[in-house]
Structure 1
Amino acid sequence: MDLTEKKVTITYDPDLTGPRSLIKRIQESGRGSDSYGASLYVPPRRRESEQQEEVRSYRNQFFLSCFFSVPVFLFSMLLPMLHPYGNWLDYKIYNQFTIGMLLGWILCTPVQFFIGWRFYSGAYHALRRKSANMDVLVALGTNAAYFYSVYVMIKGLSSDKFDGRDSFETSAMLISFILLGKYLEVVAKGRTSDALAKLTDLAPDTACLVTLDSDGNVIAEEEISTGLIQRNDIFKIVPGSKVPVDGTVINGQSHVNESMITGEARPIAKRPGDKATHVGSETALSQIVQLVEAAQLARAPVQKLADQISKFFVPIVVLAALITWLAWLVPGEVGLYPKKWIPKAMDVFEFALQFGIAVLVIACPCALGLATPTAVMVATGKGASLGVLIKGGDALEKSHKVRLLFWFIELCS
C-alpha cells in the first residue's frame, strides 16, 4: 500500500476473481460519507517513457553541439575562402597565434569535454571490460584532433614562423555527426514503438458485458472497460465491432476479420464452440506485441559479427595510425621527399604526426555499428504495422529468400 500516491497492490487468483469484483467490493465497503472510490491503475509503458527521454536527451545534445560546432566550421572552412570577409580570422594576437585559433579552441572545448562526455564514459566502461567499441574509437579520434590542435595553438604562440593549421573543426563536427546518428537511431526506435502502440490500439477500449439468467436469457447489459474483463465473463459482439479479448463463442454466429493474426484476407466464420480463452496480457494481440518487442531486443547475426569485428577493429586502427606515422617519419628523416613539403617551423616528426592523426579521425564514425541496430528496429516495427511478425534479426536476414520461394511456388503451379 502506498498512502502517498493512494495506490494499493492486490494479488489474486484470476480463475476465482478479477479487478472488477475487487473494485466493486471496495466501493460497497463504505456507507455515506465514508464510501470509498476505486479504479484500475494502468501504469504507463516504461519503455515508451524511457524512449521519449532518450530521444529528448540526444536531440538536446545534438542541437547544443551544433550551436558550438557550426561556428567553428564556418570560421575554419567557409569564411577563409570568402575574401575579404574572413581576413579578420587571420589577425595575429601574438606571434602566429590568430583569432581563428582562439575562437576554435573556445568553441570546441565544450563540445569535446562536456557534450562528448558520453563517449568518454562508454570508452571507460568498454576498456574496463577489456574490449573496444565505437566509443573508444570516437574518443581516440576526437582527442587526437583536439590535442593536436592545442599543440598547434601553443606552437603558434611560441613561434613567429610556425605555419601549422589546427583541426578544431574536425573534432567538433565529428562529435556532432555521431550525435546526429545516435539521434536518428533513437528516433527510429521511437517510430517502432509507435507501430507497436498501433497494434495495441487495435483492441477496443470497452466491451458489452451481459448477465444471463438460469435459462440463458440476457437480463442485463453493461458497457465496461476492457481492462475490467474477467475470466468466465460473457460479453456481446455486434457485427462490425472488434473483439476485446480471446473467448469462446456460446451463442450466435458471424464473421470476424482475423487478417492481423492469420494473414487471411477474408473474414472467418465463427460459431458456437470456437474459442481462445485468454484475457489481459495472455490474449493473442498482447502476445504479438510482446513477441515483436522481444524480437527488437534480439541481436541480428550481422550485429553480432559487428561486435566481434569492433574488438579487433580499434587495435587495427591504432596500429594503422602508427604505421602511417612511421611511413612518413622515416622517409622524412632520410630525405626521401622534399623538405619544401614540410610547413614552416614544423619538423618531420610533427609533419608525420598529421597523417597518423588523420587515420584515427577518418576511422572514427562506425557506420555498421549505427546501421545494424537501426535496420532491425525499423524493419520489425514496419512489419508490425503491416501485420507481419518478424521474430528476430535472424529471420529478418533470411527474409530475402521469401521472394525466391514465392517465385518457385508460382513456377511449379
Structure 2
Amino acid sequence: MGRKKFDGAWECINGGLHLRCCGNLSPESHYPSMTTYPKGTSSSMGEGSEVAITVVFCVMGMTCAACAGSVEKAIKRLPGIREAVVDVLNDKAQVLYLPTIVNEESIRDAIEDAGFEAKSMEDDSSNNTSFQICRVHIGGMTCTSCSSNVQSVLQSLRGVQIAQVALATEEAEIRYDPKIISYTQLMETISNTGFNPILISKGEHISKIELKIDGIKNEQSMYIIEQSLRTLQGVETIETYLDINKIVLTYKPYMTGPRTFIELIESSGSGCFRATIFPNDGGRKAHKQEEINRYFKLLIWSLVFTVPVFLTSMVLMYIPGVKNVLEVKIVNMLNIGLLIRWEFSTPVQFVIGRRFYVGAYKALSKGYANMDLLIALGTNAAYFYSVYVVGRATFSSHFEGSDFFETSSMLISFILLGKYLEVLAKGKTSQAIAKLMDLTPDTATLLTLDDDKGNVLGEREIDSRLIQKNDVIKVVPGTKVASDGFVVWGQSHVNESMITGEAKPVAKMKGDMVIGGTVNENGVLHVKVTRIGSETALSQIVRLVESAQMAKAPVQKYADQISKYFVPIVIVLSLSTWISWFVAGKLHSYPKSWIPSSMNSFELALQFGISVMVIACPCALGLATPTAVMVGTGVGATQGVLIKGGQALESAHKVNCIVFDKTGTLTIGKPVVVTTKLFKNMPVKDFYELVAAAEARLLLLLIFFY
C-alpha cells in the first residue's frame, strides 16, 4: 500500500501506482531549475551580514508533485531557512539556510518527519554537480538490438554515469562528467556505432539557439560576427555554416540570451547584418516530417514496381488471353512473364531495399545482428534463388521451376508499409508534447524602464524566444503570460488551469508569481521574468513527459533481453526449418501431394525457411511496449495527467481506488447541460425552443433593469 498524501495532487492507491494530476501544482516547488547557490553566499534578506550556506539532500520516496510540495513546506517551516528547492525528478532537495539558526540535522529530521528518507549529499556534492545531461536524437535505429547496442557502448565509456536509449522516441539521454568526456566524444561514439546523432541539448543549464544571418558576403563577414560573439560572457560554443548563413550557439541563459546576440550581430559590420532565429529551431518536428515523407516515397516507389510483379505472378496468369502472352518463350524456357518479374523486382531489391543492406552491414561490422539482417537474408534468399531459376530457364529447354520474385518484392513493400505506419504513429504521438510547448505565446511585449524609479519609457513587441532573464514584460487582458516571473505592477486574475487544473481564476497583485502559458483574465500586469527556456514550469512538465517516455517499463526490460538473442536464434531456426523440410522431402517423409505442382521439394523447403526468417522479426517484440508507453504518457499529458513512466502504466490494472483532493481537478468551472428528461409527452425540439425563448426573455429583463 503506497503512502497516502493528498497535499495538492491526487494519488492512486494500491499496487504502488502514482499518477500525478495537474491539480493544485506549484511550479516553483515541483518543477525547479535547481539553481546552485554557492557556499558562503552572503544573505541580503535581513540579519545584516549573516552568511547563508547551501546543502543538498538526496530525498528518497518522492513519487509525485504532492510529495515534493510536502517536503518543501516541511523545510520552510523551520526558522533560518532562506530558500528550499525540491526536484522530484532527480530526488533532490537544495536548501539555503543560516547555520547560526538551524543546522543540517534539523533539516534532515524535518524531511523525515514528513515521511521521507533524507541523506546529505554535501560530501560528494562536487561530484554530483559536475555531471551534465546530454540528450541526442539518434537516426537509423530499426529494432531493440540497435538501441541496446548503442546503450551498451555509451555505458562502457569512462565518464558516463548512465545512458538511456529509447527506440520509440529515437533519443538517448546520457548523464556524463564533462571533466572526463565531452559531448562531442559522445556524438562521435554514436556515429562510429553506425547511427546518425543530432544533438538536442548538452546540459541542464546550457541552452542552444540557431540564428540566420542576412548580409554575409564572404568568410571575413562570418569571422567578424564569430569574434564579436566570443567576447560575450556566457557563450559556450559557436558553430558557423557559411553555405546557409547560419550560426549555432550554446550559452548559459542566466548570463546572456538570444536578444543580446542579435543586437551584437546587427551592430557589427557597420550595421549591414540582420539576424533572426533560424526557422524550425530545434529541428525535431521537421525531422519527423522529413522521415514520414521519406518512407512514404519509398513505399510508393516500391508499390510501383511490386504491383506488376504481383499481377504477373498471381492474377494475370489466370486470364486466358493474357496468360498466353506471358508464357511466350524468349530463349529456351525463359518466358515474358518471368523476365518482367525479374526486371521489376530488381530495383525493389537493390535500390528501394538498399537501407536494409546498409543497416545489416553496420550491425554485422559492430558484432551484433538486427532486424535488417533478417530482412536482407530472407529477401536475398528468395531473389537469388529466382535468379537461379532464370538462368536455368535461359540455358535449358526442359527445366520448369517456380520463381520467388514476388516474395522478395512484396516482403520489402510490406515492411516499408509497416515502417511508414510506425513513423506516422510516432509523429502523431509526439504532437502531444508539441501541444504542450505551444501553450506559450509567440510574441511578448517588452518594456523599457528607467534605472531610477522604474517608470516605463517605451514598449515593443518581440519574439517570445528572445525573452531574457530579468526582462519586464507587459501582459494585457486576454493574452498569455510569456514566461515565468513575478508581478511588479498591476492587479488581475489569471487562469492557471493549464497547470493547476483549477478553472477558477487566481487573483494576482504585486509580488505574486505567474506561470508562463497561463491566461490573464482582466487587468494589465507588468511581470519581471525570473525563469526562461528549460527553467520554466511548462518546460519542466515537457521534460517530465519526455523522461517518462524514455523510461523503460519492467516488462520492456525482459523484452530487450530476449531481443539480444532473438535474431541469431531466428536465423538458426530458419536454416533448421529449410534443412529439415529438404531432407524430409528427399526421404519421402511426407506425401507428394503436399508439394504444389509448380514446385519441387527444394523450393518448398526454401519457402518455409524464408517464411520463418522474415515473419519472426523482433520489431513487434521491441516496439510494442515503448510505443504503448509513448502513446499513453503523451495522450495523458494533453489531458492534464502526467504519468511517471511505464511502471505506473504497467501497475494500473491493480488500482481499485482513486482519491481526488478537490473537485477542481475534475471540473472546468463552466456548468453545461449533459442530459434532458421530459416528464410531459412533447417533442424534445419544442422543449428546447421554449427554454431558449425563456432564456432570451430573461436576458432582456436583466439588461432592462440594469
Q: Could you tell me the TM-score, scaled by structure 1's length? A: 0.82
Q: Which moved more, 1:73-82 or 1:358-367?
A: 358-367
SS in 2 for 1:248: strand
2:322 aligned residue: 85
The answer to whether the aligner puts 1:259 opposite 2:480 as a matched pair is: no
Deviations 1:157-212 (A, max 9, x none): 34444443111111101111111111222222333444433322221222233455
Q: More helix per residue: 1 or 2?
A: 1
1:41 aligned residue: 277
The answer to whether the aligner puts 1:113 opposite 2:113 as a matched pair is: no
Structure 1 residues 318 and 38, CA gap change in structure 2 (3 angstroms): closer
Q: More strand per residue: 1 or 2?
A: 2
1:312 aligned residue: 565
Work out whether residues 145 and 361 of structure 1, in 8 Å CA contact, stay in contact via their aligned partners in 2: no
2:676 aligned residue: none
Q: Which moved more, 1:36-45 or 1:222-231?
A: 36-45
Structure 1 residues 166 and 36, CA gap change in structure 2 (3 angstroms): closer
**1:9-408 pair list within 5 angstroms:** 9=229, 11-12=232-233, 18-20=257-259, 34-35=270-271, 38-42=274-278, 44-211=281-448, 214=452, 218=456, 220-275=458-513, 277-339=530-592, 348-364=601-617, 366-399=619-652, 404-406=656-658
Work out whether residues 185 and 370 of structure 1, in 8 Å CA contact, stay in contact via their aligned partners in 2: no
Distance 2:620 2:562 in 1: 13
Letter of the aligned partner of 2:540 in structure 1? Q
Structure 1 residues 335 and 53, CA gap change in structure 2 (3 angstroms): closer
Deviations 1:71-127 (A, max 9, x none): 111111121233333332223334433222111111111111121111111112222
Deviation at 1:359, TM superposition (A): 2.7
Work out whether residues 567 and 618 of structure 2, in 8 Å CA contact, stay in contact via their aligned partners in 1: no
Distance 1:132 1:17 in 2: 47
Work out whether residues 402 and 599 of structure 2, in 8 Å CA contact, stay in contact via their aligned partners in 1: no
Deviation at 1:353, TM superposition (A): 3.6
* CA RMSD after TM alignment: 3.6
Structure scoring higher RCO (CA < 8 A, sep ≥ 6) equals: 1
Distance 1:209 1:347 in 2: 80
Distance 1:172 1:365 in 2: 20
Distance 2:430 2:597 in 1: 57
Deviations 1:350-389 (A, max 9, x none): 5544433343344358433454454444444433433444
Distance 1:27 1:92 in 2: 74
2:161 aligned residue: none
Distance 2:609 2:588 in 1: 19
Q: Which moved more, 1:207-216 or 1:227-236?
A: 207-216
Distance 1:131 1:349 in 2: 30
Structure 1 residues 42 and 257, CA gap change in structure 2 (3 angstroms): farther
SS in 1 for 2:406: helix
Distance 1:95 1:187 in 2: 48
Deviations 1:282-303 (A, max 9, x none): 2122333344345445555555
Structure 1 residues 281 and 104, CA gap change in structure 2 (3 angstroms): same
Letter of the aligned partner of 2:233 in structure 1? Y
SS in 2 for 1:85: helix
Letter of the aligned partner of 1:239 in structure 2? P
2:43 aligned residue: none
Work out whether residues 566 and 618 of structure 2, in 8 Å CA contact, stay in contact via their aligned partners in 1: no
Structure 1: unaligned runs, 5 residues or longer: none
Deviation at 1:134, TM superposition (A): 1.1
Work out whether residues 185 and 374 of structure 1, in 8 Å CA contact, stay in contact via their aligned partners in 2: no
SS in 1 for 2:435: helix
Q: Could you tell me the TM-score, scaled by structure 2's length? A: 0.51
Aligned positions, number: 406
SS in 2 for 1:247: strand
Distance 1:98 1:259 in 2: 72
Distance 2:334 2:400 in 1: 10
2:685 aligned residue: none
Distance 1:338 1:270 in 2: 86
Letter of the aligned partner of 1:93 in structure 2? I
Deviation at 1:29, TM superposition (A): 8.3
Q: Which moved more, 1:14-23 or 1:224-233?
A: 14-23
SS in 1 for 2:513: coil
Q: Which moved more, 1:224-233 or 1:63-72?
A: 224-233
Letter of the aligned partner of 2:500 in structure 1? T
SS in 2 for 1:86: helix
Work out whether residues 72 and 103 of structure 1, in 8 Å CA contact, stay in contact via their aligned partners in 2: yes
